[in-house]
Chain A
Amino acid sequence: MATAAITAERENYLNQEYGIKSWLLTVDHKRIALLYLLTITFFFFIGGFFALLIRLELLTPAGDLVQADTYNKLFTMHGQVMIFFFLIPSIPAVLGNFLVPLMIGAKDLAFPRINLLSWYLLVAGGILMLHCMLTGGVDTGWTFYTPFSTAFSNTKVIEAGLAIFISGFSSILTGLNFVVTIHRMRAPGMTWNRLPLFIWAHYATSIIQLLGTPVIAVTLVLVVLERALHLGIFDPMRGGDPLLFQHLFWFYSHPAVYIMILPSMGVVTEIVPCFSRKRIFGYKFVALSSISIAVFGFLVWAHHMFVAGISLYAALIFSALSYLVAVPSAVKVFNWTATMYKGSITFSTPMLYAFGFIGLFLMGGLTGLFLAALGIDVHVTDTYFVVAHFHYIMVGGAVMGYLAGMHFWWPKISGRMYPESLGRLAAVIVFLGFNLTFFPQFILGYLGMPRRYWQYPPEFQVLNVLSTAGSTILAVGYLLPMVYFLWSMRYGKVAPDNPWGASGLEWMTTSPPPTFNFDRAPVVDWEAYDYENIPAPQEARSGG
C-alpha cells in the first residue's frame, strides 16, 4: 500500500484507515481536502486541454483547426470549467478545508458531513458538466448572455446551467462551514486579532460565497425556465431585458473573481512573513482589507456592462466604485512589500511563487483600473486586453498563489518534502511561460483584436504565435509539480513538523497531522507571526 510507505510509524489522518470507503465516506476535513484536490486537478486538465486547442487554432489567422461553432464551444467550456470547477473551489476547498481547523486549533470544521456533501455536489455538477461537454457542449461563452443562450443557441445550455447550479451549492456550503467554524470553534486564546491572515482571507471569501452565489443560482434557474418554456424574462422580443440577465449574472460573477483571488492573497500573506523572517506589516490593515474587498466587490458589477446599454449615470457610478475597490488590494501589496523590507529573504519555491503573484497581480490589477475608466473601456472592452487583464489576475495571481500554497503546505499535507530545486525551476518556468502567453495579449487587445474570435487579421499573427509558444512553456511548468509531488509521496524526504520554521498552529502538530489534528487541544497566548521568537527552520530528515 503506497500510503504505508509515505509515513513514519506514527498514526496520522492518511494511514489511520485504508480502503476506498474510508475515503468516500470520510468526514475528516483533511481527507475531504484531498478528495477536492483530485477533483479540481482533473478539471484543471480539462480546462487546460481546451486552452491548448484555443491557442493552437490561434497560431494562424485563418480558422483552420476547428470550425467557428466548435471554437465558440472551446472558449465557453474553457471558461466554465476553469472558473466553476477549478478556480472557485481551488484554494478554499483544498487548502482552506485542510488548514482552517488546524490554524484555529479545532478538531474539524463545524459541519463535517456538510463538508463531504459539498464535495459530492461539486462532483455531481462536474459529472453533469462532463456529460454536457461530451454530448455537444455549450457555445454561449461562460457568461451565458441572453437572448442567445435562452432563445437561439442550439447547444446544451440547460445542462451546463444546471451543472453550474449544482456546483454553486458546493461553494455556498463551504462558505457556510468556514464562517461558522471561524466564529464558533477557535481554540481558547485564539482571538480575532491572533488569527492567521489566511483565515481572515477565507472568512472574507466565505461571505462572498454565501451572499453572491445564490443570485447566480436563481439566475440560472430563470435561464433554464426561459429556455425550456420560452418565457421572455430576458428576451427583448417578448418584452424582456437582456440587461436584466447581465445585472443578475454579474452581481455574482464579479464578486466571484474576489472568491478566486482573496484566498490566494491569504496564502501569500502566510508565505511572505515566513520567508522574510518578519511579522506581517500592518496586520489589522491586511485583515480589514480582506473584508473591504469582499464588501466593495459587490458594488462594482456593472463595469462589465459599460457598453451593453446601461444608463450613462449608472456607468459613472460603477466606474467610480470600481476605482475604490482597487484600494484595499493596493494596501495588501504595500504591506507585503513593507514586510519584506529589511527582512531576511529566502528564495524558496513558495516565496518565488509569492513574488510572481505580487508582480503579476499588480499588473493585472492596474490594467483593471484602465478598464474601469469609461473612455478606455469603450476602446478595449471585448478585446484581448480584457482577456490578458483577467488572466494576469486569475492565472498570474490566483493560480500562482495556489501553487505557492501547495508547495508551502505540502510537507504538512503529505509528510514529505518535494524536491526544492525542481520546485524553483518549475516556478521560474511558470513565470516565464505565463508572461510570454499573456503579455502579448495586452498588446493584441490594445491594437484591436477582439476576444472570442476564431479568425483574425494577419498583422496579429506574430503576437498570437508568441502567446501560443508561451502557453506550451506554461503547460510544462504546470506539469512539473504534478509529477514531483507524486514522486515525493514515495521518495521525498520525510518532513519534520515545521520545515519552514513558520508561525501558525498547523506547524505545531505532526506532518501529516493526526486525524483529530492535535494530540492536546491548544491554548493560545501569543500573537500571530511572532517570528522574533520562532527558531530557524529544522533540516528535513533525509531518508524515506
Chain B
Amino acid sequence: MSEHIVSAKTNIAVWLTLLVLTGVTAGAAFIDLGPFNTVVALVIATVKALLVVLIFMHVKYTSEKLVKVVVISAIFFLVLLLGLSLADYTTRLLM
C-alpha cells in the first residue's frame, strides 16, 4: 500500500461509525419496513464494507490504480454470478 499514513483520528472515527451502523442495522430489523428491510440491511452493510475497504484497507489513499481495478473487477464478476443466476430463478415461473 502507499505510505500515506492515516491519522489515528480518522481510524477511530471510522471505527465508531462502524459500531454505530452495526447498532442501527440490528435495530432496524425490528422495525417493519416491508420489503425494504432487506434493502436497508444490505445498504448499511455495503456502507460498512466501503468504509473498511476505502479507509482501513487504504484503497482511498493508494497511488496504485490497479488495486482499485482488482477490487471492482472481483465485485463485478460476483455480481455477474449472482445476477445471471437470479435471471434464471426469477423468470422460471413466467413460462
Contacts and interface: CB of A to CB of B under 8 A. Distances in A.
Interface of A: 183, 207, 211, 215, 243-244, 247, 251, 298-299, 301-302, 310-314, 317-318
Contacts of B89: 311
Interface of B: 66, 73-74, 77, 80-81, 84-85, 87-89, 91-92, 94-95
B66 A298 contact: no
5 contacts: A211-B73, A298-B80, A299-B80, A311-B87, A313-B94
Given A207-B73, A211-B73, A311-B94, 5 more contacts: A299-B84, A301-B84, A310-B92, A313-B87, A317-B87
Contacts of A314: 84, 87-88, 91
Chain B interface mostly helix, strand, loop or mixed? Answer: helix
Q: Please provide the 7 A-B residue pairs with the shortest distance between their CB atoms, ordered closest to farther.
A: A314-B88, A311-B91, A313-B91, A311-B92, A310-B88, A247-B85, A211-B77
Contacts of A211: 73-74, 77
A483 to B, nearest CB: 44
Contacts of A251: 81, 85
Contact of B66 (A183, A299, A310): A183
A311 B88 contact: yes
A298 B85 CA distance: 12
A207 B92 CA distance: 32
Contacts of B80: 298-299
Contact of A243 (B88, B91, B94): B88
A310 B95 CA distance: 10
A2 to B, nearest CB: 44
Contacts of A247: 85, 88
Contacts of A243: 88
Contacts, number: 40
A302 B77 contact: no
Contacts of A215: 81
A244 B92 CA distance: 13
Nearest to A312: B95
Nearest to A243: B88
Contacts of B95: 311-312
Contacts of A317: 84, 87
Nearest to B80: A298
A133 to B, nearest CB: 31
Contacts of A302: 84, 88
Q: Which of A243, A302, A314, A317 has the most CB of B within 10 A?
A: A314
Contacts of B94: 311, 313
A312 B84 CA distance: 13
Contacts of A318: 84
Nearest to A183: B66
A33 to B, nearest CB: 26
A236 to B, nearest CB: 14
A251 B87 CA distance: 14
Nearest to A318: B84
A374 to B, nearest CB: 14
A441 to B, nearest CB: 30
A314 B77 CA distance: 18
A318 B83 CA distance: 13
Q: Which of B66, B84, B88 has the most CB of A within 10 A?
A: B88
B62 to A, nearest CB: 14
A311 B91 CA distance: 6
